[in-house]
Each structure stands twice: as C-alpha cells, then as structure tokens.
Amino acid sequence: MHKEVVLSDNESCSVRILGLFELDAVGPTIPGPYRYQVLTFTGQVFETEYQIPDEPPEKPEEAEPEPNSLEWRQLQDFETYQCAIAHEEERATAIEDWLNNCAAYILEHCLSPGDRERLVEPEDYATVYAAAVVPKLTMDDIEEALSQVYRAEFAGLGVLEALWKLEPGGGKMNAVALWENQLLNALGLVTSEDEADYGQLPIVDRARKVAAFKLSDWIGSLEADKAHREAKRRSG
C-alpha cells in the first residue's frame, strides 16, 4: 500500500506504508527503564522501576560501612543511582541508533531510488517518515478505550492496571503487539495488504477493537485470580 505526498519540489512522491510491526525488526533492542530490587521490612523482595531523583544521593565517606547501618543504606542508594544513570545513557544511545536505523530502513524500503534523491530539505524527510510510519498502539490507548467506551473496571481499578497486579510469572513479551496480532488473525487479516489497510484506522478505533476483542478474556483472568486467592485464604 502506498501513499502520495508532495515534496519541496512541488512534485508528488509515492511512499510505501510500513507494516504495523515492520520496524520491530530494526535493531538494536532498546532497554526498558532501569529496575531494581527493594527489600521490605517484612523481608520480602520485589522489583520496581527506579525513578531518578532530581538531586543525586550523596556518597558516604566510608568505603565499606557496616551492613544495615545508615551509611550502608546511603551507599546502596548512591550505587543504585549510579547504575540507573549508566543504564539511561545506554538506553539513550540505543534509542538514537534505533531511530537512525529506522530512517535508513524507510529510505531504502519505502521510496524508489529516484525519489530518494529528491529528499533535500528537512521537511522532505519529515513528510516521507510521516507517510510511511504507522503509529504504535499503546497501553494507555487501550485503557482509555476500556474506560471511556466500555466503562470497564475491576475492583475499582482500570482493567489493565488490575491485570498487572496479578502475581507475575517469568515470561516477558510485548503484550500490545501480541493482542493486536491476535485480533488481526481473528479477523482473517493475514496479508500485508490487509495489515496495511487496518493500519490506516485511527488509533482510537484500533484501541477500541483490541479492547473489545480481549476484554472478556481479561475479566475472566481477573475473576479466576480473585477466586483462587479467596479459596487460598479459606484453606489457610
């Protein structure tokens, strides 16, 4: 599927529209936000996303403080901060490399050789990229559709928020991409042309469709988890 745009030379240009997930294969892999383990007073350990503070924690003067002392905790805070800063620098570099690779991919795969030579102004590149790239569906888009269109919630929480509170397993995935692929398969949209046509729908419509397709499964999972917890409490 192609889209016609007009470049700075006032002539039309045919731009191939990318598939929904075509740029996912363009590396490098971008690390997620820095996460670290937190030990609670009850002895439980859980992992959470680190929020980099505006003011960095001070490094204690003592190099090897006594465990669990105030200086020891200060050192832990300082070292966690340093790890988070290094991680964010690595993440920023990966994002920059990914964006550069995306630009090169679009030029090579979405334009004819002759049209590539016509990109001489910054707005030419911006016009081509806007025509080629299909916006990504996000969790926020789906949650908004769940709350505004379907008035869906669970135990006073947004449905997706409640899902993330379920006991985690060891697997990791791009859940939004999975859900949208499942929807495409269910609709029988399996060709690149079908996917391109679907990708032209507004984000709000894509979110509404994914939410409608998955909502019963999500509520079922939450109800099953609730029943399991209640049974476990009764037996305990």
Each of the 236 residues of the chain gets a pLDDT tens digit; together they read 899 999 999 999 999 999 898 898 888 888 888 887 776 666 666 677 888 888 888 888 777 888 878 888 888 889 989 999 999 999 999 999 999 999 999 999 999 999 999 999 999 999 999 999 999 999 999 999 999 999 999 989 999 989 888 755 555 678 899 999 999 999 999 888 888 889 999 999 999 999 999 999 999 999 998 998 888 888 86
The sign of the dihedral angle between the CA atoms of 161, 163, 168, 169 is: negative
pTM assigned to the model: 0.74
Q: Which of 99, 134, 169 is the last residue of a domain?
A: 134
Q: Are residues 153 and 172 in the same domain?
A: yes
Q: Are residues 10 and 111 in the same domain?
A: yes
Phi then psi for 156, rounded to 5 degrees?
Answer: 80, 0
Q: Are residues 120 and 192 in the same domain?
A: no
Q: Are residues 32 and 15 in the same domain?
A: yes
Structurally, the chain folds into a number of domains equal to: 2
Q: Are residues 158 and 99 in the same domain?
A: no
Segment (H or E) for 221: helix 203-235
Largest CA distance in the chain: 75
Tokens encoding 28: 């490098």
The answer to whether the CB of 143 falls within 8 A of the CB of 151 is no
Residues paired with residue 3 on neighbouring β-strands, in sequence order:
15
Q: Are residues 85 and 21 in the same domain?
A: yes
